[in-house]
Amino acid sequence: MVFTQSAFPVFLVILAVAPAQAQVPLQMSGEQPAALVRDAFASNYGQALADDFGEALGKAADPACLGTKKIAAASLRQRGLELMVKRGTRMLEQSTSLIDSKAYEEKFAAAGGQSASRELARLTDDADVKRYRELERPIRLTAVLDTVFEQFDRYAESARIKIAPVSPLASGNDALLNKDPTEASEKALKDFVATHRSPGLQRYLKLSENAADATTAAVNADQAEKTGPATFFQGIEAELAEICVR
């Protein structure tokens, strides 16, 4: 399967597979998109991104418009956060809908065994697996946050919305990049796996790989090729205009 450049980052979040770790795909994690996005923005890195987005909104908003609408500049940070949580949730929901659940289950069972889904769910109660998932959590949350803002920044540029980019890769914000927990979390995961070789953890890692491969194979390729920033952010101009950003 070949993904377009704009769609590919989104599917990294759905599949939740990075070179340094195995992660259960979103649709198998038992986690709802809204809760995942809220947790992501509640993290230290998420709050730092919300701060930067609020600052970008403050610089982009028309002062006269803010005065007319009686919108306090200090409120833009919270309103921007709420907007990104809503749009980020929509992004994950729409992306996950591209996965054929029946095809996924068939492919996962073929690779991991007929009871693979049930076994993977049971393994989440294993002590080593629980710890692994705790260490992995910041990576998943960061992937969500980075993808939300990368997709938004791309859309804002193409739609000619006059707002500075927030994604640290686009903005070159080293201070924000330094708050990214991914590198430290990946190291902690690597060290943990090297020193904990319980059968439960090893089986979890293997089934996670199988689940990710099954997810990739079950994605609707035609729809995926059409997926990009506009899929998730089209129409946000009206929402930004409500807070005097055009």
Provide the whole-model pTM. Answer: 0.88
Q: State the DSSP H helix or E strand holding residue 36, giving kind and residue range, or none if neither.
A: helix 33-42
Residue predicted with more confidence, 14 or 41: 41
Amino acid in position 120: L
Q: Give yes or no for residue 7 having a pLDDT over 70.
A: no
Q: Give yes or no for residue 6 having a pLDDT over 50.
A: no
What was the pLDDT predicted at 28?
A: 53
- The span from the CA of 121 to the CA of 24, in Å, is 10
Query: Cβ neighbours of residue 44 under 8 Å, at least 6 residues apart?
Result: 179, 181
Residue predicted with more confidence, 216 or 243: 243
CB atoms within 10 A of CB 61: 21
What was the pLDDT predicted at 30?
A: 64
Half-sphere exposure in the Cβ direction for 98 (13 Å, CA): 25
Q: For 146, phi and psi rounded to 5 degrees?
A: -60, -40
Q: What mean pLDDT is reported for the chain?
A: 87
Q: Using one digit for the tens of pLDDT, what is the confidence trace for 140-171?
A: 899 899 999 999 999 999 999 999 999 998 88
Helices (H), 97-220: 101-112, 116-123, 127-158, 168-171, 174-177, 182-195, 199-218
User: Residue 26's pLDDT band (boundaries 50, 70, 90)?
Assistant: low
Helix, strand, or coil (residue 18): strand
Q: Using one digit for the tens of pLDDT, what is the confidence trace for 88-99?
A: 999 988 888 888
Torsion of CA 168, 171, 176, 182, to 10 degrees: 10
Q: Using one digit for the tens of pLDDT, what is the confidence trace for 167-219?
A: 998 888 899 999 999 999 999 999 999 999 899 999 999 998 898 888 888 88
